[in-house]
């Protein structure tokens, strides 16, 4: 599997703020740790079961993470020819094997405050994650992670730190094949994120999302 990570932490880089809302739409943050059944408010999780499985796992009670945003979109030669061709080139696939594609992203934050605030520890985690992901047998899929600034508001305090956006993209000879490759890759990446090798090495104060009454949706 192709896997890499980058950082977008310059002074003018956009900051992920949680909880969040979109003033131009009804999209809002969904706190799946507080109420897992609110996943019903995320239509993408219903349309794409692999995304639903990832969100449930990453927000589970024993998970070291919480999720902030997510999305899934199809890649087609008609609408995204450049993105499709670039991914085909990166994966070194024959055009006959890669007529269709699919991509997704999920924003994740560490619940451990020390880890959330530490760019150094998160880059070490991303090194381990991408090294392990490269060993996965997904020749038609790619993982790309981006470390970015984040702020988490709880009660009357704001915690500043970092979030990771991880993108999973996959190609196939048909849309159904691309979705199958993407689903399998997303399942395995989620398993890596929940593995012991990437778990926090110690216990410290965690972000308690139960303080939020907000129950809305991911974008």
- Domain span holding position 119: 2-211
Per-residue pLDDT of the chain (219 residues; tens, 9 = 90+): 999 999 999 888 999 999 888 877 778 899 999 999 999 999 999 999 999 999 999 999 999 999 999 999 999 888 888 999 999 999 999 988 899 999 999 999 999 888 999 999 999 999 999 999 999 999 999 999 999 999 987 666 888 999 999 999 999 999 999 999 999 999 999 999 999 877 655 544 555 544 433 223 333
Alpha-carbon gap, residue 124 to 7, rounded angstroms:
12
| Pair 98, 75: CB distance under 8 Å | no
Domain membership of residue 66 (yes or no) is yes
Domain total in the chain:
1
Domain membership of residue 219 (yes or no) is no
Domain membership of residue 218 (yes or no) is no
pTM of the predicted model as reported, rounded to 2 decimal places: 0.88
Domain membership of residue 112 (yes or no) is yes
| Radius of gyration over every alpha carbon of the chain, rounded to an integer in angstroms | 17
Domain membership of residue 206 (yes or no) is yes
Domain membership of residue 216 (yes or no) is no
Alpha-carbon gap, residue 36 to 42, rounded angstroms:
11
Domain membership of residue 65 (yes or no) is yes
């Amino acid at each position: 599997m192709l896997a890499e990570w980058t950082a977008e932490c310059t002074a003018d880089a956009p900051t992920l703020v949680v909880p969040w809302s979109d003033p131009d739409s009804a999209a809002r943050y969904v706190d799946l740790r507080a109420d897992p059944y609110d996943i019903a408010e995320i239509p993408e999780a219903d349309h794409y079961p692999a995304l639903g499985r990832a969100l449930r796992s990453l927000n589970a009670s024993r998970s070291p993470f919480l999720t902030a945003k997510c999305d899934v979109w199809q890649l087609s030669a008609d609408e995204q020819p450049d993105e499709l061709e670039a991914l085909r080139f990166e994966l070194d696939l024959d055009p006959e094997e890669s007529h269709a594609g699919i991509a997704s992203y999920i924003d994740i934050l560490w619940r451990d405050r020390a880890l959330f605030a530490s760019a150094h520890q998160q880059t070490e985690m991303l090194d381990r994650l991408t090294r392990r992901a490269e060993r996965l047998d997904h020749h038609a899929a790619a993982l790309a992670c981006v470390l970015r600034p984040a702020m988490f508001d709880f009660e009357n305090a704001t915690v500043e730190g970092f979030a990771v956006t991880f993108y999973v993209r996959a190609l196939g000879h048909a849309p159904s094949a691309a979705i199958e490759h993407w689903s399998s890759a997303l399942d395995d990446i989620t398993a890596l994120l929940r593995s012991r090798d990437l778990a926090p090495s110690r216990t410290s104060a965690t972000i308690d999302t139960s303080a939020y009454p907000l129950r809305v949706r991911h974008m």
